[in-house]
Structure 1
């Protein structure tokens, strides 16, 4: 009986995460991200989305595909879109991820996904995986590749600028 008390909650969480992750696509509601970055600072997607769109890049610190492109996009869109890099713990450690972030010059928050909980939520099993979330909490772009996300970012950035102008004029 003790076995079921220990295993059933884990199985239920895993099943719920798998169902939610399987439905992640453009237009779907994005999971809520609660975590800590490698500097120990809290990260809460609900708080971020009150002010900006959110871009998530899941990367492998040993093969950081997509990082150089995301750094350029960050410089272009950082006022309208919050960037977060996530490194699942495939064969890496917190020290490895911290060193990679420094060596690669990542200027935005980095999360070490030690137990793959975030990867499960976002169905991010290939690196790079990119997820762009609008302020409405909906997925605007989802890709398990280094596909060009710039056009979608431009649309969200423009929408964010229009909203800011409207707020100032009221």
Structure 2
């Protein structure tokens, strides 16, 4: 956990200030792998879809219930073009696998073992969630815990 905290603390330092990433900004591109070892290129692989990018870790006390709530929303709307990318912030593949297996979510869990993507998005607290519109622009941002109704409302607005 200490390397993750150090990596996240570095977010506020240096040239580009990712902490200013907010609604209306283009969502930063990234490439990583999923738990199944598939390469994921965002936004290239998901153009034209509404994408929820969810940053989490297994030690985050709010992440488990929220990830289950996101699963329910995703199951209802994935056929309409809703995608969820659960980006783990700074943990190993084994830790990510164990947690995903424990909570039983089925949307893609992505690896960010060095917290590179997390820094690019200016993640300073977990959970942090970005809702990206079909055009690749950040349309909403939630820092901290949100309930199923909030995810449903924002997703439905973007899927219109």
TM-score > 0.5, shorter chain as reference: yes
Partner deviation per Cα, 1:65-108 (whole Å, 9 max, x = no partner): 4111111111122121111111112xx42111111111111211
Which ranges of structure 1 fall in alignment gaps of 5 or more residues?
1-10, 159-170
What is the TM-score normalised by the length of structure 2?
Answer: 0.80
Q: Relative contact order, CA 8 A, sep 6+: which one is greater?
A: 2
Answer whether contact 2:32 2:111 (CA < 8 A) is retained.
no
Q: Give the Cα separation in 2 of the matches to 1:81 and 1:118.
A: 21
Q: Give the Cα separation in 1 of the matches to 2:34 and 2:117.
A: 12
Q: Higher mean Cα deviation, 95-104 or 41-50? A: 41-50
* Runs of 4+ off more than 4 Å: none
Q: Give the Cα separation in 2 of the matches to 1:60 and 1:50.
A: 26
Could you tell me which residue of structure 2 aligns to residue 119 of structure 1? 118
What is the TM-score normalised by the length of structure 1?
Answer: 0.76
**1:113 partner SS:** coil
Which ranges of structure 2 fall in alignment gaps of 5 or more residues?
1-9
**2:83 partner SS:** strand
How many residue pairs end up in the alignment?
Answer: 142
Q: Give the Cα separation in 1 of the matches to 2:89 and 2:118.
A: 7
| CA drift at 1:131 | 0.5
Alpha carbon RMSD of aligned pairs, Å? 1.8
Could you tell me which residue of structure 2 aligns to residue 155 of structure 1? 157
Bigger radius of gyration: 1
Structure 2 matches for 1:48-127, cutoff 5 A?
48-62=45-59, 63=61, 64-65=63-64, 66-79=66-79, 80-89=81-90, 92-127=91-126
| CA drift at 1:53 | 1.3
Q: Is 1:23 the equivalent of 2:20?
A: yes
